[in-house]
Amino acid sequence: MNKVEVRLFASLRKYHPSTEDSDAFVLELADGAKLGDLVEKLKIPRQEIGVLMANGKWQKEDYSLKDGDRIGLFPLIGGG
């Protein structure tokens, strides 16, 4: 099992497992899990995610998670 630290930003905070908290949380995933598996586990619609980061670097959903990774999920940002 891999334990990763997850931070949800801006509008994605509503998907935090604890509705009373918006801080980072630890999520346990099976060995071999990908970043896309984490998104699925949190039930975040993919169209709401703009940026996926692991350890401060942009990643794609096929990134293989490692124990201790720090994950950040950011929403799409609109502008005019």
Cβ atoms within 10 Å of 63's Cβ, excluding its own: 20
What span, in angstroms and rounded, lies between the C-alpha atoms of 1 and 66? 9
Residue 70 lies in a domain: yes
- For residue 18, what are the domain limits? 2-75
Residue 20 lies in a domain: yes
Tell me the pTM: 0.90
Residue 80 lies in a domain: no
Residue 63 belongs to domain with CATH number: 3.10.20.30
pLDDT tens per residue across span 31-67:
999 999 999 999 999 999 999 999 999 999 999 999 9
Name the amino acid, one letter, at 39. V
Residue 32 lies in a domain: yes
pLDDT tens per residue across span 6-39:
999 999 999 998 866 668 999 999 999 999 999 9
How many domains does the chain contain in total?
1
